[in-house]
Chains A and B, each alone.
Chain A
Amino acid sequence: MRYAMLIDTLKCVGCSDCVVACQTENDVPMGYCRDWITEVVNGQYPNLDLELKSERCNHCDNAPCVRCCPTGASHKSTGGIILVTANECIGCGACIESCPYDARYQHPEGYVDKCTFCHHRLEKGQLPACVSVCPTNCMYFGDLDNPNSEVSQLLNNRKHKTLAPEAGTKPQVYYLL
């Protein structure tokens, strides 16, 4: 099993519903977030091109945070989800330094926290909170090892990109173009 998230940049309107859903579902402390919206404007007026997208931990196949963690608190779980075990984390910050996406932060309690693909919801057969609330249905979640899954089909049929592929991390969050 290999979980992946797909986000359709053509359908995303940047409403931040995914951000709020995540904060609520995961009890993210005030002032922090596990996912966020970026807006990229390309070109020169009047020929502008706007791209909106929701970003989060990319659950990289070749995860630098897992590699540099000195205690093994950052680890790859079932389906390739990268998780942090809070009571193994010493708060050294190495994983935060190692992440090209700056997707991790120090929880006020000291350990390092980030997106979990809502693995507690996946276990119950539910979708991640962000995906389940998206009002434009621009987010997809599924198993890339299954060639018939919605995400595999979409990746086969649509142009897509990942963030900073030159960092060599093999991200598992894909953006449909």
Chain B
Amino acid sequence: MEELFTSGRNIPNIDPYLQIWHWPISVYLFLGGLAAGILFFAAIITILGKDKEYPTAVKKASIIAPIALVIGLLALFYDLTHKIYFWRLYTTVRIESPMSWGAWVLMFITPLSMLWVFSYYSEIFPKWGLKYDFLKKFEKFLIANRKYMAYALIPLTLILGVYTGILLSAFNARPLWNNAILGPLFLVSGLSTGAASIILLSKTKKEKHLFGKIDLGLIIIELALIVHMIMGFYAGSEVQLEAIQLLIGGDFTVLFFGFVVILGLLIPAIMELIELIGYKLPAMIPAILVIIGGLIFRFVMVEAGQLTRYLY
């Protein structure tokens, strides 16, 4: 039997457990992954020269990306407590700090996503023509260089997608976050929500079908990664065993298994599989489930992670 008392400590947001990162962080991690997923597919399809066949992926869906990134950035900014010094992020490059990587990637990918959408301006809004000559020239310039933008987007989206997970996994003080699979897991989850939003917006059968297949593959990978994550915890040290209890038999079990694993992954996978075989199902339902599941997954990890700690 061991009992630990700590006297003289009731620090706001630290005791009895951490409440340093709030809902804006979860929302941002979700939106960052979503934007990364959408832009990744837009870039891949453009590089493969299939942008005429899959118009939603490169055009309509990509509008979500800059909006998601800007809302995400505002959410991040909102959660800073010393806001007026936020520019300090951009006076230094800290290779060891995931957050520094994220800040710099966002610095490049946010304007790039806006340029990408702008290059499709005349196609997306044919009625509202560009009024100024220099804007028309600029759009032409962007259209001519779309492929180069796509090549730049591939590494940037992959870094953005992985970083949303590594941001958490780099903290060994929070055992639930401290697992190496979180980076790839968040990347795959982000790509999956990206594919789902393309399905949601797409009007053509061919496009829905392709992204349904892609999403199904991503969900299967995600499920495998979640199994690996849980196995890793069970093979881990005492603090990790305690941490995974939150998801396996604790406060977050219903949220994690009910909303993330079953409603957010298994049911959409089964529905997409049924659709693939040839039965007609509304493609919207699995897509919406995947997106909601992705959002809840971020909330579960951010909230539960802050409850786990080293005990000494």
A residues at B contact (CB < 8 Å): 14, 16, 19, 31-33, 36-44, 64, 67-73, 86-94, 96-102, 104-106, 109-111, 163-164, 166-168
Give 6 closest A-B pairs by Cβ, nearest first. A91-B81, A91-B82, A110-B82, A70-B99, A93-B20, A100-B173
Contact A40 B82 (CB under 8 A): no
Closest CB in chain B relative to A41 CB, distance in Å: 4
Whole-angstrom distance between the Cβ of A90 and the nearest chain B Cβ: 5
Interface residue from A40, A111, A163 paired with B3 (Cβ < 8 Å) = A40
Taking a contact as CB atoms under 8 Å apart, the answer to whether B82 and A70 are in contact is no
Q: Distance in Å from the Cβ of B218 to the closest Cβ of chain A?
A: 28
Starting from the known contacts A68-B170, A102-B15, A167-B173, 11 additional A-B residue pairs (CB-CB under 8 Å) come to A31-B11, A39-B4, A68-B97, A70-B94, A71-B85, A86-B82, A91-B83, A92-B80, A94-B99, A96-B18, A99-B173
B95 closest partner in A (C-beta): A67
Q: How far is the CB of B95 from chain A (nearest CB, A)?
A: 10
List, in ascending order, chain A residues with CB within 8 A of B96's CB: 67-68
User: Across the interface, which residues of A come within 8 angstroms of B91, CB to CB?
Assistant: 71
A residues within 8 A CB of B1? 41-44
Chain A nearest CB: distance from B165 CB in Å? 14
Interface of B is mostly: loop
Q: How far is the CA of A132 from the CA of B180 in the complex (A)?
A: 44
Given contacts A31-B10, A102-B14, whether A70 and B85 have CB atoms under 8 Å apart is no
Q: How far is the CA of A42 from the CA of B4 in the complex (A)?
A: 9
Residues of chain B within 8 A of A16, CB atoms compared:
7-8
A96 touches which one: B7, B20, B82, B88 (CB < 8 A)? B20
Asked whether, in the complex, the Cβ of A97 is within 8 Å of the Cβ of B85, the reply is no
Q: How far is the CA of A68 from the CA of B96 in the complex (A)?
A: 6
With A91-B81, A99-B173 as known contacts, state yes or no: A71 contacts B88, CB within 8 Å. yes
Complex Cα distance A164/B312, Å?
A: 6
Task: Give me the interface of B with A, judged by CB distance under 8 Å.
Answer: 1-15, 18, 20-21, 79-83, 85-86, 88-89, 91-92, 94, 96-100, 102-103, 170-174, 237, 306, 309-310, 312
Query: Is B14 touching A105 in the complex (CB atoms < 8 A)?
Result: yes
Residue A70 contacts which of B11, B103, B312 (CB distance < 8 angstroms)? B103
Most buried by B among A91, A93, A96, A101: A93
Contact B2 A40 (CB under 8 A): yes
Quote the shortest CB–CB distance from B92 to chain A (angstroms). 5
Q: Which residue of A lies closest to B85 (CB)?
A: A90
The answer to whether B98 and A68 touch across the interface, beta carbons within 8 angstroms, is yes
Cβ of A93 and Cβ of B21 under 8 Å apart? yes
What are 22 pairs between A and B in contact, CB < 8 Å?
A16-B8, A32-B11, A38-B4, A39-B5, A39-B7, A40-B4, A42-B1, A44-B1, A67-B170, A68-B97, A69-B94, A90-B88, A97-B18, A97-B20, A97-B171, A100-B309, A110-B82, A111-B81, A111-B85, A163-B312, A166-B310, A168-B172
Interface centre among B7, B12, B20 (most CB of A within 10 A): B20
Q: How far is the CA of A99 from the CA of B100 in the complex (A)?
A: 18
- Asked whether, in the complex, the Cβ of A93 is within 8 Å of the Cβ of B81, the reply is yes
Could you say which of A37, A87, A101 contacts B85, with CB atoms under 8 Å apart? A87
Contacts of B20 in A (CB 8 A): 93, 96-97, 106
**Which one of B81, B94, B172 contacts A110 once the chains associate, using CB atoms below 8 Å?**
B81
Known: A36-B7, A64-B171, A97-B20. Is A90-B98 also a contact (CB below 8 A)? no
**B6 with A36: CB separation less than 8 A:** yes
Contacts of B9 in A (CB 8 A): 33, 36
A88 and B89 CA atoms in complex are apart in Å by: 9
- Distance between Cα atoms of A91 and B85 in the complex (Å): 9
* A20→B13 CA distance, assembly (Å): 21
CB contact under 8 A between A90 and B174, given known A31-B12, A71-B94, A105-B14: no
Residues on A with C-beta less than 8 A from B237 are 166
